[in-house]
Amino acid sequence: MTGVLRKLVDLMHGLIAALGKLSGWLLLALVVVQFVVVLARYLLAVNFLWLQELTLYLHASTFMLAAAWSLCANKHVRIDILRERSSDATNRNIDAVGTVFLLIPMMLVIGWTSLPYVAQSWSILEGSTEVSGLPGIFLLKTLLPIFACLMLMAGLVRLVRRSGRST
């Protein structure tokens, strides 16, 4: 692997890892906010819609930002029926084919098709339909193309790093 490519892959991996760590903190925030929502509702008989929406925002953010880290860390969900019986080289080939023919095209479709949706949301600075809801739905929707870009980067990182092992 050339020095420039290695630096680019390391930079992408570092960004993905940092966002994975951020997702852990978002998950902690999600638990705390949800705990507050439950306490407020059942102990104080008070309902804060903006807090409920915040749990949705945190939940979505956690998964959209952590997915690429999960893929890079090889912690993603997969079907291991044949994987246990296959050699490491076969598994690398299956991963490469899956990345090239499934992951990359799907992320390109998600990224491309989400752009008008996100642009429309930004053009009106879309907010909650509820009066006391959060005003930043356009920010939440922005996670769609970001997710697609991060997953593309994770796929490329895996392809480059795993192909380097086979040579």
Which residue would you say has higher pLDDT here, 113 or 132? 113
Averaged pLDDT for residues 92-120: 95
Please tell me the predicted confidence (pLDDT) of residue 83: 76
Averaged pLDDT for residues 60-78: 90
Query: For residue 77, what pLDDT band results from cuts at 50, 70 and 90?
Result: confident
pLDDT at 35 over 90: yes
Averaged pLDDT for residues 2-9: 89
Quote the percentage of the chain above a pLDDT of 70: 96
- The radius of gyration computed from the CA coordinates of the chain, to the nearest angstrom, equals 20
Q: Determine the structural domain holding residue 129 and report its residue range.
A: 3-77+86-166
pLDDT at 21 over 70: yes
Averaged pLDDT for residues 156-165: 84
Query: For residue 55, what pLDDT band results from cuts at 50, 70 and 90?
Result: very high
Please count the structural domains in the chain.
1
Rounded Cα–Cα distance for residues 167 and 72 (Å): 20
Query: For residue 66, what pLDDT band results from cuts at 50, 70 and 90?
Result: very high
Tokens at 79, concatenated: 């079907």
Other beta carbons within 10 Å of 66: 23
Longest dimension (CA), the chain: 64
pLDDT at 91 over 90: no
- Over the chain, what is the mean pLDDT? 91
Rounded Cα–Cα distance for residues 160 and 88 (Å): 16
Please tell me the predicted confidence (pLDDT) of residue 166: 42
